[in-house]
Amino acid sequence: MVGEQAWKKRVPSAQVPSATKIGRALRNLATGSERIKVGERQHKYHRVNPALLMAWAERSTVADTEVLRSRIAGECDLLARAVKVRASLAG
């Protein structure tokens, strides 16, 4: 799993968190969430508060804040595609 390998590389002193723990952390950084059906699968997307995410990244030193800042400023390709697919199916 790519995420697990990345975690072990960046945070070798901490155990890889479970999906449940990651979900709880996202809820704490989010202003809400939305379920989007893509094909036959439901995906839950959290609307993360950028200010909270940046503060966490700076405090925890887990993420490169400059890379994070540029990603936040850009469009999430996966979410953008899912929203377009959903809109095309609805209308």
Banded pLDDT at 2 (limits 50, 70, 90): low
For 29-73, the pLDDT digits (tens) are 888 888 888 888 888 888 888 888 888 888 877 778 888 888 777
Could you please report the per-residue DSSP string of 54-82?
HHHHHHH--S-HHHHHHHHHS--HHHHHH
Q: State how far the Cα of 89 lies from the Cα of 79, in Å rounded to an integer.
A: 15
**Residue ranges making up the domain that contains 45:** 2-90
Tell me what the mean pLDDT of segment 10-30 comes to. Answer: 82
- The pLDDT of residue 91: 63
Number of domains within the chain: 1
Question: Residue for token digits 């890379």?
Answer: 67
Percent of the chain whose pLDDT exceeds 70: 90
